[in-house]
Structure 1
Amino acid sequence: MNVTLKQLKAFVVVAQQESFMAACELLHISQPALSIAIKNLETEVGGALFSRTTRAVVLTPEGQRFLPTAKRLLQDWDDAFIDLSQAFTLEHGILSIAAMPSFASSLVPSYLKRFRNEFPDVKIKLHDVVAEDAVQMVIDDQVELALVFEVPDVPQLDFIPLFEDKFVAAIPPALAQDCTEHFSWAQLLESPLIALQQPSTIRAQIEALLDEQGLAFDVEFEANQLATIGQMVASGLGVSAVPSLCTPLFEAQGAKCVPLQSPPLMRRVGIVTQQRKPLSVAAQSFIGQLVEKYG
């Protein structure tokens, strides 16, 4: 069926005005053009929508049933373009992002507050999941972007670096009483070591550095969430090496975080998006704010 928007508008206006002449004035078209539009519509639907007399134009029963539907279709058409326009101007829209918990609980809230202050009508969906899951959510089109540590080269992903994060030693309160202002990796490994379970890119990076230094990576406790490791360290089970982004979370749990040196270990933090996939205006604006902040 090939019904046009012009035909729908013509039908609704004629029905409301009960006059072809009045409808022509409102639609700014000639009477022959209006008559053709109505005739073509009636041909498409398979029957008369109006009963024409010398005195009036009235709807047939079929036309009466169709009128509410035609009005709704025109309103939906207008609403769709209003919604689209508002999305482009950020008067409306959705920002859907994923962030690893250490980032989501530290810096991300301030980013979102700044964005929301500028664009108060954009809805925000934040998924705080482990870094590997955050990246997978981008790949699976569940979110437009992820705020994570730099990932190994993945053909379908782009990485926009924001800043470098240094690893720190997370130590229990009892050990913190006797510690200096920083730890070496050798000092850290004198205590029971707590680490993320495999596969973990954080763990892999630590293992690679210790291998270069000729130090044994002997893990006594494992967990799959950094927050859990923070609790384990705070309870005195052992020590850990974590990104400094975790410092607020770990210290709120009772652990102590001090710089790790000899040598320092750093990792880039940034934004992961899909290659060759257009981003919404909301996502583009959010990324622009972050790049401006760290540029």
Structure 2
Amino acid sequence: MDLNLRDIRALVAVAEAGSFTRAAQRLHLSQPALTVQIRRLEEVVGARLFDRNSRNVALTPTGRELLPLLRKSLRDMESVLRDARAMGVGESGTIRIACLPTFAASVLPELIIGMKREVPRVAFEIRDVVASTVNALVRGEEADIGLTGGAGGAGGDWADPLLEVLHAGVDRLVAVCPRGHPLAKKRRVVPDDLARLPLVLTAPGTSVRAVVDAALGETGKTLEIACEPTYMMTAVAMVRGGLGVTILPETAREVRAEPGLVVRPIDHPAFVRPIALVKKRGRTLPAVTERFVERMRATMNAPR
């Protein structure tokens, strides 16, 4: 037979009240029920814990030695229960998210601030990585949710059978060039404009590059690729240095980080990166993560 929370709470109540009657009232129990709990605890311990007579109740030497230990156990177990209840209703916990760097550098900070105002005890583990790594982290359960892109369609037809799409949307791509560049004089650009220019494209394997390769491949022209950086900020720096024009998501803060550069929309439906919020199929999300997912959905639905 094991110790349980109710029996320990009964012993502490009797010890503090010095009376079975008063302790039973405090615990909202009948006196016989309280007596049964104390006897059960004594059986588990293998020793008498109270000396009783018609006028009072007193701890035995064994009871006096055990009382501080049991009080500590009671506090610890009640603390665990409070924490468990808080996690169960989404009032605490850790949100583990893997996401595209674009998202991490744009709307994620505001989302975290808003969540911390609502749930002060929430913690975050953030992995800002390319789409293929986002998917791998969610599949491997190193992240509970992922904001990924570059595969499947905006309607949620994502190829990975291990991932469940919680929300899907799109991220439109734009051309970024220096203010003095001929492309800057155009209100909108078309794929042929881009195909004849030196290009600074994000590295193969990134979600943006997959969309750009497919879209520019429709022109049938051989592309002049000046360089292929992994990070968008590096691409922006290369454009600033005059190496070429880059194509990035319009949500990326990097595209507006340099006052000497301008952004132009691309007049073609293929220049759209599908994005999706995913979790591992069949896995239950922590309640606090579910609350954060609702915030992310609202942000992804908001007009830009």
TM over 0.5: yes
Secondary structure at the counterpart of residue 218 of structure 2: helix
Taking a change above 3 Å as real, the CA distance of residues 155 and 263 of structure 1, as seen in their structure-2 partners, is closer
| TM-score computed with the length of structure 1 as normaliser | 0.83
| Shift in Å, 1:203 | 1.6
Distance 2:37 2:233 in 1: 67
Counterpart in the other structure of 2:48? 48
TM-aligned CA distance change 1:177 to 1:7, over 3 Å: closer
Q: Find the aligned partners of 1:279 and 1:259 in 2 and give their Cα distance.
A: 38
Residue 235 of structure 2 corresponds to residue 229 of structure 1: yes
| 1:129 paired to 2:134 | no
User: Judging changes above 3 Å, is the alpha-carbon distance between structure 1 residues 191 and 211 closer, same or farther for their aligned structure 2 residues?
Assistant: closer
Report how far residue 234 of structure 1 moved: 1.5
Q: Distance in 2 between matches of 1:174 and 1:232?
A: 15
1:14 matched to 2:14: yes
- The one-letter code matched in structure 2 to 1:216 is T
Which structure 1 segments of 5+ residues have no match?
none
Structure 2 CA distance for aligned equivalents of residues 175 and 287 of structure 1: 41
Once the two structures are superposed, the pairs formed by residues 267-286 of structure 1 within 5 Å of their partners are 267-286=273-292
Query: Which amino acid is the alignment partner of residue 65 of structure 2?
Result: R
Distance 1:226 1:75, change over 3 A: same
Q: Secondary structure of 1:196's partner?
A: coil
Q: CA deviation at 1:176?
A: 5.5
Please give the secondary structure, in 2, of the residue aligned with 1:182.
coil
Q: Aligned letter for 2:272?
A: M
TM-superposition CA deviations, 1:167-199 (whole Å, max 9, x none): 211223442686322333333233332222232
Identity rate of aligned residues, in percent? 27
Letter matched to residue 130 of structure 1: V
1:149 CA drift (Å): 2.1
Tell me whether 1:166 sits opposite 2:165 in the alignment: no
Which residue in 1 is equivalent to 2:38? 38
The residue aligned with 2:102 is: 102
Q: Which residue of 1 aligns with 2:181?
A: 175
**CA apart distance, 1:88:** 5.0
User: Aligned in 2, Cα 1:162/1:29: closer, same or farther, shift over 3 Å?
Assistant: closer
Against the structure 1 CA distance between its residues 19 and 262, is the aligned structure 2 distance closer, same or farther, given a 3 Å change threshold?
closer
* Structure 1 equivalent of residue 255 of structure 2: 250
Query: Larger deviation: 87-96 or 221-230?
Result: 87-96
SS in 2 for 1:183: coil
Q: What's the CA shift for 1:94?
A: 3.9
Contact 1:184 1:262 in 2 (8 A): yes
The DSSP-based 3-state class of the residue aligned with 1:167 is strand
Number of residue pairs matched?
A: 293
Structure 1 residue 11, shift from structure 2 partner: 1.3
Alignment partner, residue 188 of structure 1: 194
Q: CA deviation at 1:231?
A: 1.4
Please state how far the C-alpha of 1:162 moved relative to its aligned partner: 4.6
Q: How much does 1:110 deviate?
A: 4.1
Deviation at 1:290, TM superposition (A): 4.1
Q: Secondary structure at the match of 1:291?
A: helix
For residues 101 and 195 of structure 1, what CA distance do their matches in structure 2 show?
16
* Residues 44 and 161 (structure 1), Cα distance of their counterparts in 2 relative to 1, 3 Å cut: closer
Q: What secondary structure does 2:185 align onto?
A: coil
The answer on whether the counterparts of 1:150 and 1:161 sit within 8 Å (CA) in structure 2 is: no
